[in-house]
Amino acid sequence: MKDFYVKNSSNYKGFSLLFFLVCQGEFYPDESFLNEVREVKSVFRGIKKEELWQFWSFWAHSSNPGDGLLFLRDVGILEFFPELFGTIGVMQNPETHPEGDVFTHMTMSVNEARHIVDRESIKEGMNVYEIMFGALCHDLGK
């Protein structure tokens, strides 16, 4: 996988494949691999809005969306989404949210939303997007 990514790292498709594998729970890159991705993260800056929607649409249908968010944070791409990036380090009431900051809560929430989608056998359509993006965005105002 690393060899494929290095050969295709200058394009969005190489990044998309890596993101796909992370979101599916196939693997999580080690620190040296994350550093390589960080060096070419600017490839994400120039993607078209159709590709951006495909990216988030895939995320909404993935089996491990929380790891996808962690990956975006770890390689510096979450910075391109200031509303999401701004949740890092925003602490919550420890009595109601012992997990800590809003970002950590968000990763847990999207994973739980994925469990609901699976449990209720929701396969396609707006319902998946409503549940997944609702979980992703429900605390952005904190």
The pLDDT score that the predictor gives to residue 129 is 93
Residue range 108-135, pLDDT digits in tens: 999 999 999 999 999 877 799 999 999 9
Return the closest-CA partner of residue 34 out of 72, 2, 69, 75: 75
**In the predicted model, what is the mean pLDDT of the chain?**
84
The burial of 23, by beta-carbon neighbours within 10 Å (0-12 exposed, 13-18 middle, 19 or more buried), is given as buried
The burial of 46, by beta-carbon neighbours within 10 Å (0-12 exposed, 13-18 middle, 19 or more buried), is given as exposed
104 versus 44: the higher-pLDDT residue is: 104
The pLDDT score that the predictor gives to residue 20 is 79
Contact criterion met (CB below 8 Å) for 110 and 69: yes
Return the closest-CA partner of residue 18 out of 33, 32, 31: 33
Residue range 36-69, pLDDT digits in tens: 788 777 777 777 888 888 889 989 999 999 999 9
Q: What is the percent of the chain with per-residue pLDDT over 70, rounded to a whole number?
A: 90
Q: Rounded to an integer, what distance in angstroms lies between the CA atom of residue 51 and that of residue 108? A: 26
CA 73-76-77 angle, 5° bins: 85
Q: Which amino acid, 24? A: Q
